[in-house]
């Protein structure tokens, strides 16, 4: 009887310590975790929040030699619906999509999707020369680095 009860969700810190995401079992757990959460999610677990917001789009920041590239997954949006804002050392990405649903018994219903994400930018980026490109559901933000922080090669003498 004890094994029929679903286990509670582990805390994110414990999950990170237990299995690294780049290990084979960690990758499998990350892939199948949301599936099991959806299937067993309706079972009451004591002392667990009833609603936990899920991350529904990925964000990746790469520090390259001459620029910082931020990639955000944003499928289902049009370029006109996406807003990229820079204030100081913070980059804010916002998107909002509204669509009317047509179908049997769904006349007049509106579906609304809203995404908002903030990223702290590294020091030494030129925010005035920021460039944002959106294609195939992926937003890429390119931030060039200032000459002071670009890596330079030092000759080693013997």
- pTM, 2 dp: 0.57
Residue 30, pLDDT > 80, answer no
pLDDT band at 19 (very low <50, low <70, confident <90, very high): very low
How far apart, in Å, do the first and last CA atoms of the chain sit?
73
CATH topology of domain 59-144: Immunoglobulin-like (2.60.40)
* Tens-place pLDDT, residues 90-110: 999 999 988 887 777 667 778
Q: Where are the domains of the chain?
A: 2-40, 59-144
Q: 133 CB contacts (<8 Å, ≥6 apart)?
A: 139, 140, 142
Whether the predicted pLDDT of 35 surpasses 80 = no
CB-CB contact of 54 with 68 (8 Å): no
Q: Among 22-36, 55-69, 81-95, which range has the highest average pLDDT?
A: 81-95
Cα dist. 8→5, 40, 126 in Å?
9, 10, 45
The predicted structure's pLDDT at residue 148: 85
């Amino acid at each position: 009887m004890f094994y029929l009860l679903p286990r509670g969700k582990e805390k994110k810190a414990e999950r990170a310590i237990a299995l690294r995401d780049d290990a084979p079992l960690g990758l499998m757990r990350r892939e199948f975790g949301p599936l099991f959460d959806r299937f067993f999610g309706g079972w009451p677990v004591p002392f667990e929040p009833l609603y936990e917001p899920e991350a529904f789009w990925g964000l990746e920041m790469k520090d390259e030699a001459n620029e910082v590239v931020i990639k955000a997954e944003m499928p289902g949006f049009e370029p006109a619906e996406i807003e990229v804002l820079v204030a100081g050392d913070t980059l804010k990405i916002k998107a909002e999509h509204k669509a009317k649903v047509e179908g049997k018994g769904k006349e007049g219903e509106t579906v609304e999707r809203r995404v908002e994400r903030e990223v702290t930018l590294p020091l030494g980026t030129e925010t005035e020369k920021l460039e944002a490109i959106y294609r195939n559901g992926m937003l890429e933000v390119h931030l060039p680095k200032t000459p002071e922080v670009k890596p330079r090669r030092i000759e080693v003498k013997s």
